[in-house]
A and B are shown apart, each in its own frame.
Chain A
């Protein structure tokens, strides 16, 4: 019996800036049985092709001359979902090491292949990758739907079959526990792995769990320990700096990121984080350099962002170079065209004008930033609130900064990561000596209010619940829990007492708003499902169908 050639049925994209290399790799693939092969000569062309169609296999050289490099192609493809978890992405590198591309834990290719490689090696490697993708397909499908319980049970099932890739599966299982918020199980898995062997990924995972459990001092130790023996484990630097920041040691955090950037200067998000820290530490020369690097890297990166320009302008103006700074601000309008960009152009202008002594101009720009912020309160990410608060604080508007931060904390009261960053912002703006306590108080108020509303729903006092959530949502338009529960109250009222126009409109409004605030919220999906059910039942009644 003839086995189906696994190479024949797939679509391939080959990316290399050398024509000879492209045709050589295409030739190799053809000799393996592939026939659906496209080729791109640079990153831009590769992305354009991936926008048009979905490829199952991408072979991409890391070094693509000017423009995007292979890592940036991968990041853009993954971030914009031009490829999915089933796509095999192989990074071809010039030498037998990953250090050029290291540090991209979040966006790692499925495999690195170093040049030169033989046809036999390409075949063996791709066959194994196809097999691995097929093996993990059900797990990955569950993970894409955020169905962690299903993913974990599938992994356990596979582990029971004595698979060759047991290590990889254990790692995935621990990561899934962590993502699902089951810290105890994740912790146990990492600790038991470390008891038998000190593996870098397990120590890294341990640190992340400790951080998630808010044991920042322990997390810091874990990442330091990891870096002692693995100096090029780049993601560990990022997490060490996060832990140091959470502990209020901003100088140490800056030192950590400086060291990491020296080792691996091309990571734009790290340069951004370094710039922010240096600004906060009033080390403006370092800030300027980091934001300058980030802006340069941004040209070809999917992570390009107007806040990088705002940071660069701030750093320049803090060193007295206001004209240069305004130049950078005007760049924002030329490079971007959306509300986020207009927001950052306004905050940057406010900062620069304030520092150059134009208080009136600064005030105007600040007001513009506030307007943009409030008219997009339900769509822009929470980090903008922090930047708005920082700007207010630079302008000496302490009370305003305080109000903005309070609203941001209330709007995101269930986001643990955000609380850590918000505490940092309070501290940096000199608004509180004990921001953790302050934040705890603010969060408790929200939780209390939410609990009260939920028990009103349970007691079927729907109108009271709706009044309560409605008022709460006025004050916290960006709080997804409050907005979702407002929708839930309306839906349950109608389930109980029949459909009415007003509840219908309210439910829809708050479902929409919550939908903009979150992605992949399973609880929201459940409320939406019940709402749709009500709608269709109502439609049937209206048409007299029973």
Chain B
């Protein structure tokens, strides 16, 4: 057994524990009989556990992608319905942190993608935005030059220039550990985007600042 395999199966196990913790916390916080001294601390707990779970999930998926055990299940989806699920996954968490959270999409917009994989990407972009936003996060979708663009924006200070200039586009790309960030989320996003193909066109990701909101903006372009 290779070390990577041991790692993968352990991650699997840890994730199961985290799942249990998350669901139990959700349940506890939802119960009016639960008494918590400092609600803020509970929210931090919930948020960080979510983040850890998300990172492990991405690690697992990257592992499988590298071993070519994942092929995207691309179907036509109504994007509005899809974003509604993205919001449903994150709403509770962001509400409790007093972050204004909204989404914007033409109800008739449809796109071709693997909903599970892209949901994972947007979740992690939202968790990231939460770390840097002042008090607002917005998710949106639109068609642009025949590509479906999904955006996650915040009103924080924005991405530093070096990150915008050096967005990874696939697994072999430059993960710059010098910045102190593993860029796991971006690597994962880039890989998922790349797996989406139409004809000769692969999907890609980009970062920018001050799109609709003042802060950073994560973009995923899908063919």
Bound-complex Cα distance A73 to B214 (A)? 51
Bound-complex Cα distance A116 to B197 (A)? 29
- B77: chain A residues within 8 A (beta carbon): 167
Knowing A118-B92, A164-B81, A229-B71, say if A198 contacts B116 (CB, 8 Å): no
Residue contact A95 to B20, C-beta cutoff 8 Å: no
Against B, the Cβ 8 Å flags (1 = close, 0 = not) of A111-132 are: 0101111111101110010000
Residue contact A21 to B110, C-beta cutoff 8 Å: no
- Which B residue's beta carbon lies closest to that of A165? B78
- A229: chain B residues within 8 A (beta carbon): 71, 197
Residue contact B64 to A99, C-beta cutoff 8 Å: yes
Bound-complex Cα distance A125 to B80 (A)? 13
Bound-complex Cα distance A95 to B61 (A)? 9
Bound-complex Cα distance A168 to B53 (A)? 32
Residue contact B69 to A99, C-beta cutoff 8 Å: yes
Residue contact B116 to A119, C-beta cutoff 8 Å: no
Find A120's partner among B18, B60, B69, B91 (CB 8 Å cutoff): B91
- Which B residue's beta carbon lies closest to that of A18? B20
Find B26's partner among A119, A125, A128, A165 (CB 8 Å cutoff): A119
- B64: chain A residues within 8 A (beta carbon): 97, 99
Residue contact B24 to A97, C-beta cutoff 8 Å: no
**Which of the 9-residue segments B37-45, B82-90, B125-133, B159-167 touches chain A?**
B82-90
Residue contact B71 to A97, C-beta cutoff 8 Å: no
Bound-complex Cα distance A128 to B120 (A)? 20
Place the interface of chain B in its size category. Answer: 35 or more
Knowing A120-B92, A229-B197, A233-B71, say if A94 contacts B116 (CB, 8 Å): no
Bound-complex Cα distance A334 to B27 (A)? 48
Residue contact A96 to B198, C-beta cutoff 8 Å: no
Q: Does A397 sit within 8 A of B, measured CB to CB?
A: no
Residue contact B116 to A96, C-beta cutoff 8 Å: yes
Find B89's partner among A97, A118, A167, A231 (CB 8 Å cutoff): A118
Residue contact A230 to B70, C-beta cutoff 8 Å: no
Residue contact B69 to A119, C-beta cutoff 8 Å: no
Q: Does A546 sit within 8 A of B, measured CB to CB?
A: no
Q: Does A106 sit within 8 A of B, measured CB to CB?
A: no
- B23: chain A residues within 8 A (beta carbon): 21, 24, 115-116
Q: Does A27 sit within 8 A of B, measured CB to CB?
A: yes
Residue contact B71 to A232, C-beta cutoff 8 Å: yes
List which A233-267 residues lie within 8 A (CB) of chain B.
233, 263
Knowing A98-B116, A117-B89, say if A128 contacts B81 (CB, 8 Å): yes
Against A, the Cβ 8 Å flags (1 = close, 0 = not) of B51-84 are: 0010001001100100011110111111011001
Residue contact A167 to B75, C-beta cutoff 8 Å: yes
Q: Does B19 sit within 8 A of A, measured CB to CB?
A: yes
Q: Does A20 sit within 8 A of B, measured CB to CB?
A: yes
- Which A residue's beta carbon lies closest to that of B197? A229
- B16: chain A residues within 8 A (beta carbon): 94, 115
Against A, the Cβ 8 Å flags (1 = close, 0 = not) of B1-29 are: 00000000000100110111011101100
Find A114's partner among B24, B91, B93, B116 (CB 8 Å cutoff): B116
Knowing A24-B27, A197-B198, say if A119 contacts B71 (CB, 8 Å): no
Residue contact B19 to A116, C-beta cutoff 8 Å: yes
Knowing A115-B19, A116-B23, A128-B81, say if A31 contacts B89 (CB, 8 Å): no
Q: Does B103 sit within 8 A of A, measured CB to CB?
A: no
Residue contact B24 to A24, C-beta cutoff 8 Å: yes
- A118: chain B residues within 8 A (beta carbon): 26, 88-89, 91-93
Residue contact A167 to B110, C-beta cutoff 8 Å: yes
- B12: chain A residues within 8 A (beta carbon): 94-95
Q: Does A199 sit within 8 A of B, measured CB to CB?
A: yes
Bound-complex Cα distance A201 to B60 (A)? 26
Q: Does B145 sit within 8 A of A, measured CB to CB?
A: no
Knowing A95-B57, A116-B19, A124-B85, say if A27 contacts B27 (CB, 8 Å): yes
Bound-complex Cα distance A168 to B57 (A)? 29
Bound-complex Cα distance A229 to B68 (A)? 10
- A98: chain B residues within 8 A (beta carbon): 73, 116
Find A20's partner among B24, B69, B88 (CB 8 Å cutoff): B24
Q: Does B172 sit within 8 A of A, measured CB to CB?
A: no
Residue contact B112 to A197, C-beta cutoff 8 Å: yes
- Most B-side CB within 10 Å, residue of A24, A116, A201: A116
Within the complex, the shortest CB–CB distance from B206 to chain A, in Å, comes to 23
Bound-complex Cα distance A457 to B112 (A)? 55
Bound-complex Cα distance A31 to B23 (A)? 14
Bound-complex Cα distance A505 to B80 (A)? 63
Given contacts A119-B92, A166-B76, 17 further A-B contacts (CB under 8 A): A28-B27, A94-B12, A96-B117, A96-B119, A97-B70, A98-B116, A99-B69, A99-B70, A114-B116, A117-B89, A118-B92, A124-B84, A164-B80, A168-B75, A199-B75, A200-B74, A232-B69
Q: Give 28 CB contacts A-B under 8 Å.
A: A18-B20, A21-B20, A24-B23, A28-B27, A94-B19, A95-B57, A96-B116, A96-B117, A97-B60, A97-B61, A97-B116, A98-B116, A112-B116, A115-B19, A116-B22, A116-B26, A116-B53, A118-B89, A119-B30, A119-B92, A120-B87, A125-B85, A164-B80, A164-B81, A164-B110, A167-B77, A168-B75, A197-B112
The 3 A-B residue pairs whose C-beta atoms are closest, nearest first, are A167-B76, A120-B88, A116-B22
